[in-house]
Structure 1
Amino acid sequence: MKKSYLVDDRIFLRAIEPEDLDIIYEMENNPSFWSITNLTVPYSRYVIKEYIANTQSDMFADKQLRLMIVCKEGNKVIGTIDITDYVPLHGRGGVGIAILEEFRNQGLAFDAMNLLCEYAFNFLHMKQLYAHIPSENEASLNLFTSCGFVRSGLLKEWLHTDDNTYADVVLMQYINPNS
């Protein structure tokens, strides 16, 4: 029997659908996420609708892959998980995850991260995944560490903060154990 990727007993990861417009709009325009992204202005519904319509959900074409995290119970979208800045030549990509606040601290991000890593390494045959995590974000550091990522560097004063200072970022990597 073939291995089923992107699904476990509690969640599944799926491509973006047109009906995800509202949830993506809500998440992309949440200022609490802006400090860890390069976003400087809100996205309009039109821009997000165009993104959804034009994405091929093909990492090789788009150089990124955004998947919706869906809780099986109630078929509710609870967040997104991404592989960004994909470089086929080197087999690497950055990982980002965002979970709606009401679904945090339930182990669902851990489930989603493990599904993504398994898919990236065992199906896409990627060499490595990496993440940039603010050094004060203990929850994210713990999540990535628990999923197999290791600290490999520190980027000093990497992110501009709300209080007009700069924060350090931990560079974390997960090298494909099968490569």
Structure 2
Amino acid sequence: MTTCDDCRLPTEAKQAHDGDETRTLCKPCATLVDSDRSIYVSPLEHDDLELILAWRSNPKVYRHFRLQDGPLDWDEHVAWFESRGPDRHDFVIHYDGRRVGVVSIDGENEVGIYLGDFSAHSHGVATMALNWLCNRFNERTPLTAEIHEQNGASKQLFTRCGFQQESIDNEWLQYVYDP
């Protein structure tokens, strides 16, 4: 089995030509590249942790996280990264040559997304990244997401990407993607 050059997950190869370069891409990554060459994803790596810590320590980002109510601690952040299970996948979203956010799926098929670089908002980046994740992990459906009831942008994003609100747990809305 071949590995996709972007998401680095196993795939049946699809060749994509980018100028003089030929790359091996999975179908969802090839679709993402075909639709907008300025957006792609790559696996979260140790070198990304400092930037991710800065984003996740911003109250404008973490105010919508269920399990975080303040800035993160570096050692706990690294411990989380190193203890992730094999069914959890976190991807850095790249837009116009810079890292702008994260899209992820955990071992229980719960997905999440945030853009830490606010200049990437309102450009369709989150929609394309979430659609990519749903296509890449389609075999794991149903996918779920928890969204704070006051997070209107995320409610719109997940609905636009095919998720439907299924239930409510206090202030948290449960969304399901099951095409």
**Superposition TM-score tier, normalisation by shorter sequence:** 0.7 to 0.9
One-letter amino acid of the counterpart of residue 48, structure 1: H
Which residue pairs with 2:123 in the alignment? 106
Which residue pairs with 1:174 in the alignment? 177
Which residue pairs with 2:100 in the alignment? 78
Please say if 1:133 is aligned against 2:150: no
**Which stretch shifts more, 140-149 or 1-10?**
1-10
The answer to whether the Cα contact below 8 Å between 1:24 and 1:48 also exists between their aligned partners in 2 is: no
Which residue pairs with 1:35 in the alignment? 63
> Tell me, which stretches of 5 or more residues in structure 1 are unaligned?
88-92, 159-167
Identify if the C-alpha distance between structure 1 residues 58 and 14 changes in structure 2 by more than 3 Å, giving closer, same or farther. farther
**Which stretch shifts more, 146-155 or 3-12?**
3-12
Offset, 1:34: 2.9
Offset, 1:154: 2.1
Please say if 1:19 is aligned against 2:22: no
One-letter amino acid of the counterpart of residue 141, structure 2: K
Q: What is the TM-score of this pair, normalised by structure 1?
A: 0.73
The answer to whether the Cα contact below 8 Å between 2:59 and 2:70 also exists between their aligned partners in 1 is: no
Identify if the C-alpha distance between structure 1 residues 117 and 139 changes in structure 2 by more than 3 Å, giving closer, same or farther. same
Offset, 1:170: 1.9
Identify if the C-alpha distance between structure 1 residues 56 and 134 changes in structure 2 by more than 3 Å, giving closer, same or farther. closer
The answer to whether the Cα contact below 8 Å between 2:144 and 2:174 also exists between their aligned partners in 1 is: yes
One-letter amino acid of the counterpart of residue 169, structure 1: W
Q: How many residues align?
A: 149
| Residue-by-residue CA offset, 1:107-145 (whole Å, 9 max, x unaligned) | 100000010000010xxx112111111223221111111
The structure showing larger relative contact order (alpha-carbon pairs under 8 Å, at least 6 residues apart) is 1
Supply the RMSD in Å over aligned alpha carbons.
Answer: 2.1
The answer to whether the Cα contact below 8 Å between 1:66 and 1:80 also exists between their aligned partners in 2 is: yes
Which residue pairs with 1:5 in the alignment? 28
Q: Structure 1 vs Structure 2: percent identity of aligned residues?
A: 25
One-letter amino acid of the counterpart of residue 13, structure 1: V
The answer to whether the Cα contact below 8 Å between 2:63 and 2:69 also exists between their aligned partners in 1 is: no
Secondary structure at the counterpart of residue 172 of structure 1: strand
> Tell me, which stretches of 5 or more residues in structure 2 are unaligned?
1-12, 15-25
Identify if the C-alpha distance between structure 1 residues 77 and 152 changes in structure 2 by more than 3 Å, giving closer, same or farther. same
**Which stretch shifts more, 139-148 or 3-12?**
3-12
